[in-house]
Amino acid sequence: MSHPAAEVCLTTPYSARPGQKGGTLIAEDVVSLVEHERRLADPDLYRPARCGHCGRARPYAHDFRERVLRGDSEPAVEQIRRYLCPSCSAVWQVLPAFLARHLHRRWMVVQAVTAGADVVATSGSERRVRVPARTTRRWVQRLLASAARLTQVLAVVGGELVEVLGRVGTACTRAELVEGLAAAGVVAPSRKLEQIAGWVHRLMPGIRLM
């Protein structure tokens, strides 16, 4: 069975964008607000080892950007640290793993909404969250789109992951891919969207789960 193709914005890597220098890096080990705030206080803790564009070591701590998060009981603002490469002028922002790139929400909110819509299985830890109906429809549509591009990206990891991907199949939806990896114990059920999104972006910067 064929599934709708994913939107272009979800499948375009940075390398396909002419003039792309900087972008977003995801700190996959930062899963709590406490750790995020600790790293914000010291510019070295989030600093990339090298510029992802030209390879120069230790980009400069540049500034902070505020990100307004929606979907909680009240809007929250998180600071995001950015770094500047003095060699090529690329600017890199570093997101903690719990923030969803481009969605302006925490992954826990996204997972709660999509579990509530019966697109992904509940882990039992989700809480009731309200988001606009059109936002829910957009997220559902994306998770029901083809995961072919994502399986190609993840397959480069090799080993056990390739075996799991083989069982899930390349003709699956993104939701089926998520559930297949969770069922195999490859990702934590309570953080499955967050973890897969981080892996995909690391392996091919710019590619998105949602």
Q: Give residue 83's identity as a one-letter amino acid code.
A: Y
How confident is the prediction along the chain (210 residues), in pLDDT tens digits per residue?
Answer: 679 999 999 999 999 988 889 999 999 999 999 999 999 999 999 999 999 999 999 999 999 999 888 766 555 888 999 999 999 999 999 999 999 999 989 999 999 999 999 999 998 888 888 889 999 999 999 999 999 999 999 999 988 888 999 998 889 999 999 999 999 999 999 999 999 999 999 999 999 999
Q: How many helices (H) and strands (E) does the chain have?
A: 9, 6
**Of the candidates 28, 129, 117, the residue with the CA atom closest to the CA atom of residue 74:** 129
Q: Please tell me the pTM assigned to this model.
A: 0.93
Contact of 17 with 187, CB cutoff 8 Å: no
Give helix 174-183 / helix 192-203 axis angle, nearest 10°. Answer: 110
How do the domains of the chain map onto residue ranges? 14-100, 105-203
Residues 205, 13: Cα–Cα separation, whole Å = 6
DSSP state of 15: G
